[in-house]
Copies of this chain bind each other. A is one copy, B any other.
Amino acid sequence: MREIRLSDMDDIARGAAILGAGGGGDPYVGKLLAEVAIEKHGPVSVVDIDDVEPDAVVVPISSMGAPTVGTEKLPSGHEAITALRALERVMGKKATHLVPIEIGGVNSVIPIAAAAETGLPLVDGDAMGRAFPEAHMVLPALIGVSCTPMVIVDDKGNTMVLDTVSNEWAERFARAACTEAGCSVFTADTVLTGRQLKEGLVAGTLTLAHKLGRAVRLSPEPVATAAALLDGQLLITGKVVDVHRATTGGFARGQAKIEGIGAYRGMRMTLSFQNEHLVAERDDEIVTSTPDLICVLDNETGDPITTEGMRYGNRVAILGVPCDSRWTTPEGLRLTGPRAFGYDHDYMPISVGGN
């Protein structure tokens, strides 16, 4: 896509929330912000990563926090721009492009709103190819790009600039500040030059989100359509029978239990999440684990269901979707594999037996 118009927002938000693997925050508020900004300032230019000049200054802007809080504690709308301008002052140079740090819910939509407001072009891609819960879980980290300087802005106007000795320390201090601020802040960080985009981003994910959101909306079989577009495997269709969720340490953590229906009757699935879904077990066997995507869709409409939106009684179809291949390298798994989240098992590729 060459530009994002008002009429694209609905499909992008839907597609991005599917790609967000349950996380990235509820896209609804972000979508409203983006729609208001596009209505006021006009469409947003979108640029392929191959068309960005080598010394461009590409700035990811995102929100951080527990999505359970994000649905109740609304952004004022100015935080993203405040974070961007503060980062520019720290860097001593202007951003030439914006980009989403992750594809998923609110965080793919916030940069669209900021691009509309600032007139900056948006790069078609993101730094994860999905959503992950922690700030250092980004592809640029694999090529030695630092998360800092990182600017953190809250809804009250408090600003913080971090400069840390590692990306993990940036995550720790940012999370502490985020928690203190009420579990919801905006950040600008992990700045890339144009020449780092090929290695530092997953290309074309805004276009993919748009295409996916549109296809799911129009298809008579939305779940099958989503699976086909994403090269995903159906893990189960079922009914959510239990959700345990707690907002701790600045994250929404928990587990959901699903009982199979239709062809899956008699099977049970347990999903474990930390903002995003991380591990899917079917009848006590791990069938998909981070960094691969576990995408929960409404079984009828194909609409994405976020971890904070999942409820008893939801009829869902759950897809396992392969992640960007850089995540399954040893360095990638060190950052985002099961052990990075405290699980006592290694990454295993998606396996649903018999399929």
Contact = CB atoms under 8 A, between A and B. Distances in A.
A1 interface: no
A148 to B, nearest CB: 9
Q: State which size class the interface on A falls in.
A: 10 to 19
A162 B165 contact: no
Interface string A159-179: 111111100010011011101
B173 A164 contact: no
Contacts of A169: 156, 158
A333 to B, nearest CB: 25
Contacts of A172: 180
A313 interface: no
A157 interface: yes
Copies of this protein, total:
2
A157 B166 CA distance: 10
Contact of A157 (B158, B165, B176, B180): B165
A160 B158 CA distance: 13
Nearest to A179: B176
A162 B157 CA distance: 11
B156 A173 contact: no
A184 to B, nearest CB: 14
Nearest to A164: B158
Interface in A138-162: 156-162
Nearest to A161: B161
What are the 10 A-B residue pairs with the smallest beta carbon separation, nearest first?
A176-B180, A161-B161, A176-B176, A159-B163, A158-B164, A157-B165, A158-B169, A156-B165, A172-B180, A160-B162
Interface of A: 156-165, 169, 172-173, 175-177, 179-181
13 contacts: A158-B162, A158-B163, A158-B164, A158-B165, A158-B173, A159-B162, A159-B164, A160-B163, A172-B180, A176-B176, A176-B177, A176-B179, A176-B180
